[in-house]
Amino acid sequence: MTSTFPNISISTERLVLRPLDEDDVPALADMMNDEQVVAWTTVPHPYTEADAHRWITRVAPDERTEGRGIVLAVTEFLTQRLVGIVHLRNTDWRVRASQIAYVIAPWARGEGYASEAVLATAQWLFHDQKFERLELRTAADNTASQQVAQKIGCISEGVLRNAWIARARTEDGAWTDVRTDVIVWSLLPEDLAGVGEQLADTGGFTSYSDWN
């Protein structure tokens, strides 16, 4: 039988990570049309509310129920505003390893939300789900994502040459595909020692609960 992650929410000092719901459609569509998201991900462009609705109601739930991973909305604790998403994917239940990806809305960047959300997810994955490895892959020129990896204690393991297709603007403003190298980062349970202290006296990760 395929293993699956529980349908959970995770709370930190500033954030709540929870399942996406249909009320997130407008904010998700807006976030996915940001130029940095288009450049470094494979999302359709333009990204419509129909795309967001399909992701929320079909793709994300299937990721969890079919055992591939889990998708969590990242929201501000005080405002409940959608900050971004965190996605555990390509999960190997025998090896107890998963890969993490994330997107942060342009208005929320520079606040440390990506690091806080990814670290909280990693702590839950290691402590509660007893996983032994978390992998993160960043395009060679995506320095913002690399800074997140470094901040939470990831170790750079090497470069996959010519392994990803990013997108860049042409002179006429259109998007074109550009091949790029990929940096592979990993995080193990022992790498978290002391990292949570950077996120606050709460330890960054405070609690999780089954989502009903």
User: For the residues 101-119, what does the mean pLDDT come to?
Assistant: 96
The set of residues, in sequence order, having a beta carbon less than 8 Å from that of 63 and lying 6+ positions away, is 69, 70, 71, 87, 89
- Does 142 have pLDDT greater than 90? yes
Prior bond to 46 cis, omega within 30? yes
Q: What's the pLDDT band for 199 if we cut at 50, 70, 90?
A: very low
- Does 180 have pLDDT greater than 80? yes
Q: Lowest-pLDDT range, 60-69, 101-110, 196-205? A: 196-205
Helices (H), 41-161: 49-54, 60-65, 113-127, 143-151
pLDDT tens per residue across span 10-30? 999 999 999 999 999 999 999
Strand 97-104 vs strand 155-169: parallel, antiparallel, or unpaired? unpaired
Q: What is the pTM of this model?
A: 0.90
Q: 3-state DSSP: the chain helix, strand, coil percent, rounded to 5?
A: 35, 35, 30
Specify the pLDDT at position 193. 83
